[in-house]
Amino acid sequence: MGHVTLTDTTKRYEEVVAVDEMNLQIEDGEFLCLVGPSGCGKSTTLEMISGLTLPTSGTVEIAGEDVTNEPPKDRNISMVFQNIALFPHMDVRDNISFGLRLRDFEDEEIERRVQQAAKTVQLEGMLDRTPSELSGGQQQRVGIARAIVREPAVFLMDEPLANLDAKLRVHMRTEIQRLQKELDITTIYVTHDQEEAMTMADRIAIINQGNLQQCAPPLECYDRPANRFVASFIGSPSMNLYDGSASGDVLDLTHFQVDHALDLDADHNDVTVGIRPEDVYLVSSEDEPATPSTAFEAVVDVLEPVGDQTYAYLTPQGAQSDSDSVMGEGGPELLVSIDPDTTIEEEATIEIVFDREKTHVFDGETGDAIAHGVIDETVAEPTAVSAENEARGD
């Protein structure tokens, strides 16, 4: 009853294309997160679904009905806003019942529903207060109550937790998830926080520069990112990415080599290889992966202990000379998450391997994923050994 379909939905502001031909299918009862960096068009997408912004072209369907040009009030949606947007001149009861009163509900029905909604968000005793007398978390709960009281077909949330402090945010996150499961209402949730998206959503839609990058369940986005952007955006700390080329069965990443067993053709000479910090291991550590890559040496730059693990910033041996000038994506620096009990020190030279199962290869030019897990499973073990020797001889 509450499925949403976007077909080639585009929003153009003069010269700027905010959202470019977005195609999205959101199932009934699904919890979808729109996630992306600031200004990527995720809020604009939500506004087009809500009707607060009209698309330049394309259509929006809610519950099978084309609502592209309908005003927000006729779309059977409700919305929770980042700045909460409670009406300051009304008390909590009037805020929650605002939409019901506009729709000429009976007084008893309004009261019953308001009580029900207040109970759901645990605000029972506060109906006569004004929004200014409530804390940030309580205000946002009123905002949610106002949204659920009308029992809409679709629930839209525009970074509803962004203005709350960290502890409350985590608490409200679970509250919203619980509520969504309970009410089983289609929910579209906008956030720039990939962690929030990962933990809450059934599926996440990653958007960048107005284009949909990938729309898939959280773990699929994590394990099989559709392109380089998704790979670097999802996951914290983000994936290590290296430009290089594939020649023969070796990926040459300028400062070090990794062997592979992919069936690559000549077109893939320009590639980017990605490896997550947790998929890089110290040689001879206990949890060394079953499918290690060529080992290579690296120097420990900085150690950042965060408690449950330690982040080590490494510079591959071959890149020592120019390590000062290059940082971040594309640079030779390698971020590794290691066991906090590991006894390594800064300035030390250590040997590391990649988990080849978890290595990702992207096309250097388009950024599209070519392969995930740089290994042909049937030949995993033999190549690993021989490759190690080859690298040592380097």
Partner 1 sequence: MSNAVTDESKGRVGQFVDLMVNNPYDTYRILFYVGLTSFLMITLFPFYWLLVLAVSGGGTYGMGFLPDSVNIGVFVEIFSQQPIHLYIFNSIVIAMITVVICLVIGSLAGYAFGRVDFRGKGPLMLLLLIVSYFPGIAYLIPLYEMLTGSLTVGPFMTPDLYNTPWAMAFPFTMLTLPITIFILTTFFSQIPDGLEDAARVEGTTRLGALFRVILPLSAPGVVTAAIIVFISVYREFFFSFMMSRGNPDDWAVLVYGILAFEQQSGSQHHFMAAASIVGVIPVAVLVIFAQKHIVRGLTQGGLKE
Name which of residues 342 to 381 contact partner 1 (CB under 8 A).
none
Please list the residues that pair with 338 across neighbouring strands. Answer: 310
* Cβ distance to partner 1 smaller for residue 139 or 291: 139
Q: Which residue matches tokens 């939409």?
A: 99
How many binding residues for partner 1 (CB under 8 A)? 25
> Least distance (Å) from partner 1 to the CB of residue 82?
8
**What is the residue-wise DSSP string for 47-88?**
HHHHTSS--SEEEEEETTEE-TTS-GGGS-EEEE-TT----T
Minimum CB distance to partner 1 smaller for 43 or for 213: 43
Q: Which is nearer to partner 1, 159 or 355 (CB)?
A: 159
* Amino acid identity at 24: L
52 binds partner 1 (CB under 8 A): yes
How far apart are alpha carbons 143 and 172 in whole angstroms?
12
Q: Is 185 one of the binding residues for partner 1 (CB under 8 A)?
A: no
Q: Is 72 or 136 the residue whose CB approaches partner 1 more closely?
A: 72
| Shortest CB 114 distance to partner 1, Å | 14
Shortest separation between residue 96's beta carbon and partner 1, angstroms: 10
Stretch that binds partner 1, among 65-73, 109-117, 289-297, 330-338 (CB under 8 A): 65-73
Quick check: 174 and 181 in contact, CB under 8 A?
no
Residue among 123 and 261 whose Cβ is closer to partner 1: 123
Distance of CA 123 to the CA centre of its chain: 31
Q: Does residue 25 bind partner 1 (CB under 8 A)?
A: no
Which residues, 101 to 130, sit near partner 1 by CB under 8 A?
Answer: 102-103
| Residue 103: C-alpha distances to residues 20, 43, 76, 92 (Å) | 35, 27, 12, 18
Q: Which is nearer to partner 1, 192 or 268 (CB)?
A: 192
Please name which of 374, 2, 16, 24 lies closest in space to residue 216, comparing C-alpha atoms. 24
**160 close to 179: Cβ distance less than 8 angstroms:** no
Smallest gap from residue 60 Cβ to partner 1 (A): 14
Q: Is 178 in the site for partner 1 (CB under 8 A)?
A: no
Within 129-148, which residues bind partner 1 (CB under 8 A)? Answer: 146
Q: Which of residues 75-104 bind partner 1 (CB under 8 A)?
A: 77-79, 81-89, 98-99, 102-103
**Sheet-wide strand order for 16-26:** 16-26, 4-13, 57-62, 65-66
C-beta of 98 vs 311, nearer to partner 1 = 98
Closest to partner 1 by CB, 50 vs 180, is 50
Can you name the residues that pair with 157 across neighbouring β-strands?
80, 189
Residues 6+ apart with CB under 8 A from 13: none
Count the neighbouring beta carbons within 10 Å of the beta carbon of residue 155.
Answer: 24
How many helices (H) and strands (E) the chain has is answered by 9, 21
Taking only Cα atoms into account, the Rg of the chain, rounded to an integer number of angstroms, comes to 25
Binding region for partner 1 (CB under 8 A): 50-52, 71-73, 77-79, 81-89, 98-99, 102-103, 146, 150, 156
